[in-house]
Structure 1
Amino acid sequence: MNRNKSNLKMNRVQKNESETNLTTDAYSLINEDKPPDIKYAKENSWVAGVQMFASFLLAGFGMVAASLLLDYVQHWDVFKKVSEVYILVPALLGLKGNLEMTLASRLSTHAHLGHLDTNLYSLVVGNLCLIQCQAVLVGFLAAMAAVAMGWIPEGNFDIHHALLLCASSVLTASSASFVLGLIMIGVIVVSKKININPDNIATPIAASLGDLTTLALLSWIASLLYKSIGTSVILPSIIIIVGASLVPVSGYIAWKNKFTQQALDEGWVPVVSAMVISSAGGLILDHTVSVYKGIAVYQLVINGIGGNMVAVHASRLSTSLHTGQKENNVISNTTKLLLLMVIPGQLIFIYTIGYLRAGHTSTTPMFILIYMSAALLQVFLLLTISHYMIVWMWKMGMDPDNSAIPYLTALGDLLGTALLGIAFSILYAIGDKDSDLGD
């Protein structure tokens, strides 16, 4: 009897140790295919910096392109007659962006572990099914939020509008996830072939392509479905039913796949929590926009760049933990590089905004100084939080590739919006309040 008790106690201890050590638990099956003596070459800081900065620029211009596209499609009939589509845009883009960036981070880690060379087919099938399951549910969630936010203030529920929003969101999320998933796999495979670190480029590319592709598909699909609104509910209903049937099928395949089982289990709470955190940032933005007319366009820039930088940092740190690298200091070479990139990156987009006459604020030296201070503080806080959050997740037995990025990008939105509001308040208080700044 005592021997049985001691055996049970030993089993519990071993179980607890395995739960707190992700290397010997969740990735034990994955790492069985890993060659035993892989060596990871020390990365040149300047090469890494060039790769990251180029990807940030690409992501930034992708964000600008998405903004210009929204400016164009807002004049379409569906946007004019179904105002809830406007509510759907930021919710769907934010949620989908988190899914694509976590996919990029996860695949980058697999690339470093050598799994793309030995298990490419299994990785492709598992991850495409995983993001299909996540995307359809996220599409439903975003559509329901848009319907509720459009219905509650006016008290007028329109079933045709609700079906249009739900069908458009589900079909957009499903299609975009499939296309972008294939693109991200291609980007990471090619980057490894030509000796580019996918951690440096994958998440910003996912963010830039994700926004542009998702917005284009949403606008096109919603416009097509709008033509049937009021005459038939059959087509939207079929799309919703087919989308709903994809969830259990794709979810089952992802659950049976050793590369995606943990991601399917851990990926839901961060995405939903991120939506709540971002909503708090939205409340701050709603207040500041009413006071300072020039803040909206800079909010996109500061949040976009901050989110991309912390996503790269999270992806690289997660990979270093998975591959057993020891350089995990708070102020690491990566942290210094990312902070150094804030100034040239922000300057490029500030002057791009001025050149396109897209903003309402004059770029005075005082504005640049205070705006840059806010941007640097935002990125520094995000990188610091990122370090402690990812290390904590690792110690708790969670995979940071699946959980960290949604929290961090949402915090980036919240911090960026709050700090930008403070920056504009300071500018107003010290007298840098020309006619463009909200007088």
Structure 2
Amino acid sequence: MVEALDNPTADSLEKRSSLTLGGDTKEEPEPENRLPIYTISDDKGSSSTLDMVSLNSATTSATVNGDLENNKVPDDDIQRPKKEEKWWSTLIQVAVPFFIAGIGTIGAGLVLGHVQEWDVFKNVSAIFVLVPSLSGLKGNLDMCLASRLSTQANLGKMTSVKEITTMVVGNISLVQVQAIVAAIIVAVFAIAVNAIIDQEFSINNALLLTSAAVFTATTTCFVLDFVLVSVILISHNFKMNPDNVATPLAASIGDVVSITVLSITASYLYKVLDDNIWLPCVIIGLYLLILPVWIYVVLHNIYTKPVLTTGWTPVISALFISGLGGMILDQAVDNFSGFVVFQPIVNGIGGNLVSVQASRISTMLHRGSLPGILPEGTRVWDWPWRVLFYGTQTSKIARMLLALAFTGQIVFMFAADYMYQKTITIGVAFGFAYVICSTVQVMVLLYIAHIIVHQMWKCQMDPDNSAIPYLTSLGDLLGSIFLGLAFFILALVGQEYEK
């Protein structure tokens, strides 16, 4: 008779842990502040001990067969620790998609700098509040999907076509549900903020913003999610860590697409709205009709059903945090020339890099610990120096990401300036202020990521579903604040960025 450890959690662990085979049980005390050690013994008197690194991940059940050959757990039931990645391998895997995604953030800034002269942006100012929130929503949903699938790939779960199909269908359906609901909420938020600031409300503008937001969020998520799934599968097959590749692309590649689709959709609806008021109503109605279908698919999928009921708080909270950044953008666009060009770059790069770190920490925790228990020597609250430079398991990656942020922001700053101005106009004062504010933003985000991911794990929450929305929305808010502060100081000393 076999007694298996099924879906262990922190609440089910005692100071003495055991696993029984053939009726005999051996128990060993669990040392203070260490992961439990499981002793497997049989009626012949032989035994084996396994710690959490050797057992399956906490999200699956550990199954032990009755007639084990040589009294060993089958290979399929052992989660073998992977070799540590070489620093140069990690750097290449992160840097390539980072700079590709950086091109996307530059494109997003240039698109926003161009479309701000369109009639819809001049006459419906609430759209500036909507842009950061909608871009943040798009990035959050895609990065959570990329983080979930990357973790499953690193845990060896994406091996059969059936399992992969189930994961992909469930996750894409989940993103559609979240996109429809969250896009409506973020549109209502933008409309309410604008009504309070401008002391006026227009039902036509409300319908325009809501329909454009829902169409943009669902369409861009649906298309780009298939791209992300392909990237994860290809990188996993080529023995690359999907955490390094997928999350940077998800963080920024969608910004330029979402801003472009939103601008075109809103501009078209603005032109035809007076004579076709029914059009935005039909768009909203169609998405509300299809919403139950997506919900049905998610509820009947074992990988996404729990997320549907528990994953809303971080997504909705992130919308309002990003919305605060949108309010800053709405005010800065009229006061600081060039702000709309650099704001998506600062926000996108910050969210890009912190999503890599959050996804890697989450994978490390899934692979080597149980929910509710931190690995040995790991603390939620630690000194910034240890987290960012030297002293923790993830500080090496943090140093690498900071170096990428510093180098990348210099490259992207000059590239965006040249593409926007058709010549190089960056001065020493602006360049210094820009690099300082963007680097400080990434440092703060990486430190917050360490705290949030480990605290969520300690509270038995899955960081793959909850951490990234908070981090990227904080990236939007902090990026807008720091960049706005830099522009304000430059204006005080007469060093404004001018076209």
**Aligned runs of 1:12-411 on 2, under 5 Å?**
16-17=11-12, 27-28=59-60, 35-39=76-80, 40-76=82-118, 78-79=120-121, 82-118=124-160, 119-226=163-270, 228-283=272-327, 293=337, 295-324=339-368, 329=392, 332-358=395-421, 363-411=426-474
List gaps (5 residues or longer) in structure 2. Answer: 1-7, 14-35, 37-51, 65-74, 370-374, 379-391
Which whole-Å CA distance do the structure 2 matches of 1:88 and 1:363 have between them?
Answer: 29
TM-score for the superposition, normalised by structure 2: 0.74
1:166 offset after TM fit, Å? 2.0
CA contact (8 A) 2:449 2:471 kept: yes
Q: In structure 2, what residue type is equivalent to 1:335?
A: A
Which whole-Å CA distance do the structure 2 matches of 1:428 and 1:155 have between them?
Answer: 29
1:427 offset after TM fit, Å? 5.5
Aligned pair count? 421
Q: In structure 2, what residue type is equivalent to 1:220?
A: I
CA contact (8 A) 2:177 2:291 kept: yes
Is 2:495 the partner of 1:434? yes
CA contact (8 A) 1:342 1:376 kept: yes
CA contact (8 A) 2:106 2:412 kept: no
Which whole-Å CA distance do the structure 1 matches of 2:412 and 2:260 have between them?
Answer: 23
Correspondence for 1:418 among 469, 481, 489: 481
List gaps (5 residues or longer) in structure 1. Answer: 1-12
Residues 171-215 of structure 1 deviation map (CA, whole Å, 9 limit, x = unaligned): 222222211111111111111122221111212211333222222
Which whole-Å CA distance do the structure 2 matches of 1:173 and 1:146 have between them?
Answer: 15
1:71 offset after TM fit, Å? 3.8
Partner of 2:158, secondary structure, is helix
Gap change, CA 1:354 and 1:159, over 3 Å in 2: closer
Which whole-Å CA distance do the structure 1 matches of 2:126 and 2:62 have between them?
Answer: 43
Q: In structure 1, what residue type is equivalent to 2:77?
A: P
Residues 334-389 of structure 1 deviation map (CA, whole Å, 9 limit, x = unaligned): 11111121221111012113322459995344544444333333222211211121
Provide the identity percentage: 41
Gap change, CA 1:435 and 1:168, over 3 Å in 2: closer
Q: In structure 1, what residue type is equivalent to 2:190?
A: A
Bigger fraction of residues in helix: 1
1:87 offset after TM fit, Å? 3.6
Residues 214-239 of structure 1 deviation map (CA, whole Å, 9 limit, x = unaligned): 22332333344445423344433232
Moved more, 187-196 or 37-46: 37-46
1:132 offset after TM fit, Å? 0.6
Moved more, 72-81 or 52-61: 72-81
Partner of 2:363, secondary structure, is helix
Moved more, 272-281 or 75-84: 75-84
Moved more, 161-170 or 195-204: 161-170
1:102 offset after TM fit, Å? 1.1
Gap change, CA 1:288 and 1:377, over 3 Å in 2: same
Which whole-Å CA distance do the structure 2 matches of 1:148 and 1:31 have between them?
Answer: 53
Counterpart position of 1:8 = none
Moved more, 178-187 or 130-139: 178-187
TM-score for the superposition, normalised by structure 1: 0.83
Q: In structure 2, what residue type is equivalent to 1:113?
A: L
CA contact (8 A) 1:96 1:138 kept: no
Which whole-Å CA distance do the structure 1 matches of 2:490 and 2:199 have between them?
Answer: 40
Which whole-Å CA distance do the structure 2 matches of 1:222 and 1:292 have between them?
Answer: 24
CA contact (8 A) 1:106 1:401 kept: yes
Which whole-Å CA distance do the structure 2 matches of 1:25 and 1:251 have between them?
Answer: 28
CA contact (8 A) 2:129 2:327 kept: no
Moved more, 296-305 or 100-109: 296-305
CA contact (8 A) 2:357 2:446 kept: yes
Residues 305-345 of structure 1 deviation map (CA, whole Å, 9 limit, x = unaligned): 11111011001111111122869626522111111212211
Which whole-Å CA distance do the structure 1 matches of 2:215 and 2:432 have between them?
Answer: 44
Which whole-Å CA distance do the structure 1 matches of 2:9 and 2:59 have between them?
Answer: 16
Which whole-Å CA distance do the structure 2 matches of 1:14 and 1:72 have between them?
Answer: 52
Moved more, 72-81 or 145-154: 72-81
Partner of 1:117, secondary structure, is coil
Gap change, CA 1:37 and 1:338, over 3 Å in 2: same
Which whole-Å CA distance do the structure 2 matches of 1:428 and 1:72 have between them?
Answer: 23
